[in-house]
Amino acid sequence: MQSTYIMKPIAHIHNDFPDKFGIPRQSGLIDSLKAEIIFEPEYRNPDAFRGLEAYSHIWLIWGFSESIRSDWSPTVRPPRLGGNTRMGVFATRSPFRPNPIGLSSVRLEAVETHSEHGPILHISGADLMDGTPIFDIKPYLPYVDSHPEASEGFGGPLKNYTLDIECPDKLLEQIPKDKREALFALLSQDPRPSYQNDAERIYGLRFAGMEIKFRVDGTTLHVISVEQIF
């Protein structure tokens, strides 16, 4: 049997996340997060996309391009378990895997034909960093892909609440109106690692050309500065 396989990116995602910090922990959590998938020249044949517009959701098979290692460990320490408890790598969605491959289900908003880039996919709800390579795309089929009765182990929702956002008007004015809904939805999900609860610690999240600095006190997230990134 063949022991080595070569996969080439067919596309890359383009969105508002230049860093890993703050990206939703799973796909589909925040529908207001928009992104585009732009294909490599050899995969821009319109025939390859025929019929795709009929689907509302698609699977993205992609690469953890920022987490590539030469070796692997059979156990990892999931942040949601405090960062100290080890679990089997195959029981987690950790990026540190034998093969750094990710799988995400996203909403397909539109298939656009662009004069320069060919077919472009407009999607929402992705949990990927800007520039992430896409290896394949497949349609999501609810009758086989959805299992509402499935057990979820320790990977289920960690918190049953969302944070309240406190943002002074003078800082709100610095956030573009078309980015506010997605940003506040993202912040309300609590971007911090689950084991960090220092009310005085200041965090910085880069999103849509801005660096948002904040702290969390109880169930309230306080935005303390908004800076443009150049």
DSSP 186: H
- Residue where a domain stops, chosen among 84, 116, 145: 145
- Measure the CA–CA gap between 69 and 82, rounded to whole angstroms: 23
Q: Do 19 and 133 have their domain in common? A: yes
The yes-or-no verdict on residue 156 having pLDDT over 80 is no
Position 155 scores a pLDDT of: 75
Position 196 scores a pLDDT of: 78
> Is residue 74 in some structural domain?
no
> Is residue 37 in some structural domain?
yes
Q: Do 172 and 138 have their domain in common? A: no
Position 68 scores a pLDDT of: 66
Name the β-bridge partners of 39: 11
> Is residue 152 in some structural domain?
no
- Cβ-based burial of 100 (10 A; exposed 0-12, middle 13-18, buried ≥19): middle
How many CB atoms within 10 Å of residue 106?
Answer: 25
> Is residue 45 in some structural domain?
yes
44: its two tokens:
């821009």
Closest CA relative to residue 120, chosen from 108, 111, 128, 129? 111
Q: Do 207 and 174 have their domain in common? A: yes
Position 61 scores a pLDDT of: 97
> Is residue 93 in some structural domain?
no
Q: Do 115 and 220 have their domain in common? A: no
Q: Do 24 and 58 have their domain in common? A: yes
Domain range for 205: 164-228
The yes-or-no verdict on residue 157 having pLDDT over 70 is no
Q: Do 109 and 20 have their domain in common? A: yes
- Residue whose pair of structure tokens reads 């996309």 in the numeric block: 49
Q: Do 189 and 216 have their domain in common? A: yes
Q: Do 45 and 135 have their domain in common? A: yes
> Is residue 88 in some structural domain?
no
pLDDT digits (tens, 9 = 90+) for 16-29: 999 999 999 889 99
Residue 210, phi-psi category: left (phi > 0), alpha (psi -120 to 50), beta (remainder): beta
Closest CA relative to residue 165, chosen from 148, 142, 190? 190
pLDDT digits (tens, 9 = 90+) for 53-112: 999 999 999 998 776 677 888 998 887 777 788 999 999 888 888 888 999 999 999 999
Instruction: Determine what percent of the chain is predicted with pLDDT higher than 70.
Output: 96
* Residue 211 belongs to domain with CATH number: 3.30.2310.20
- Residue where a domain stops, chosen among 86, 115, 145: 145
Q: Is 117 within 8 Å of 38 (Cβ atoms)?
A: yes
Domain count, the chain: 2
> 3-state DSSP call for residue 77?
coil
> Is residue 48 in some structural domain?
yes
Q: Do 111 and 205 have their domain in common? A: no
Position 160 scores a pLDDT of: 59
Q: Do 48 and 137 have their domain in common? A: yes
Within 33-167, residue ranges assigned H as helices are 142-145
pLDDT digits (tens, 9 = 90+) for 169-225: 999 999 999 999 999 999 999 998 877 788 899 999 999 999 999 999 999 999 999
Q: Do 116 and 222 have their domain in common? A: no
Q: Do 51 and 112 have their domain in common? A: yes
Q: Is 32 within 8 Å of 181 (Cβ atoms)?
A: yes
- Measure the CA–CA gap between 8 and 86, rounded to whole angstroms: 32
- Measure the CA–CA gap between 57 and 126, rounded to whole angstroms: 11
* Residue 33 belongs to domain with CATH number: 2.40.30.70
> Is residue 42 in some structural domain?
yes
- Measure the CA–CA gap between 55 and 50, rounded to whole angstroms: 11
